[in-house]
Structure 1
């Protein structure tokens, strides 16, 4: 597959650069924290604070996703990942919520990394667009999260 020679790579968007900077700052902050329990409690507070900063449409969805994930996969620890709420197992992110506002997208995203056990044959979804979190969507998220942690 050839690349159009008239197009040029313009690098990362401002939003992507900001997310990478936020990730670097969060990594440094995590390294400075005290005991494991202190780290977990502070990380959970950071996630809730980040959710509270979101515009209403994203905040409402993120709060509901957070509640569903923490209720259905208590082994996952909340943490910030590239400035977004994420849920990790042994420090490795299993799933995350990405605000529509942060990347100027038309929908928020619930994503799963390769650690998630969502395998379904030879092809399966690893991210889902969210425009509203209804009771039906909550049930689907709960099932996905339970499957992700096996």
Structure 2
């Protein structure tokens, strides 16, 4: 039984180090995309989050902050800069004028589109040897691990484990 526990422990440690490596490489890739647009990496991630979340009505700063797990005030600060650079449009929410909703401008969409061929090549390199079904399977397992990780973190923070 101890040997089985050690094997599981080794597999979990390998998994964690693989995730750390992937995270570091993705950071480098995001920095490269950001540099090509003349913005910072956090600003790039904000643009990507808005692009992901916007369903034609705009996106709130809170939704972006939640997606990226960053402070809403930081999102506000950075989106003001992105608006000045004409990458974002911010408008009052039609539901509640106290809130702003953001969307990418045509300029941002055009710049991101220019990168699309390079992004496709990068994605092909990263996921070489995996078909759509394999990636879907992996995503479902990673989503479960992400949920369980949040639970484990909460348990640790309140002293349950």
Which structure carries more relative contact order (alpha carbon 8 Å, separation 6+)? 1
TM-score, normalising length: structure 2? 0.28
Which structure is higher in strand share? 1
Which protein shows a greater Rg? 2
